[in-house]
Amino acid sequence: MRHQKKTVRLGRKAEHRKALLANQVCNLIEHQRIKTTLAKAKAVRPIAEKMVTLGKNGSLHARRTAFSTLRHKDAVKKLFDEIAPRSTERNGGYTRIVRLGQRKSDSASMAFIEWVDAAVVVEEKPAEEKKAKRKEPEAKREEPKPKEKEAPAAEEPTKKRRWFSRKSGEAEK
Series of mean pLDDT values for 10-residue runs along the chain (173 residues): 92 97 97 97 97 96 98 97 95 96 96 89 54 55 54 56 57 54
Close Cβ partners of 49 (under 8 Å, ≥ 6 residues apart): 92, 93, 94, 95
Please check whether residues 79 and 59 belong to one and the same domain: yes
Chain-centre distance for alpha carbon 48: 18
Is 6 domain-assigned?
Answer: no
Is 4 domain-assigned?
Answer: no
Q: Write down the pLDDT at residue 83.
A: 96
Q: Write down the pLDDT at residue 154.
A: 55
Asked if 113 and 134 touch (Cβ cutoff 8 Å), the reply is: no
Q: Write down the pLDDT at residue 91.
A: 95
The pTM for the full model equals 0.68
Is 33 domain-assigned?
Answer: yes
Q: Write down the pLDDT at residue 119.
A: 72
Q: Write down the pLDDT at residue 120.
A: 66
Q: Which residue segment(s) compose the domain that 24 sits in? A: 14-115
Q: Write down the pLDDT at residue 130.
A: 55
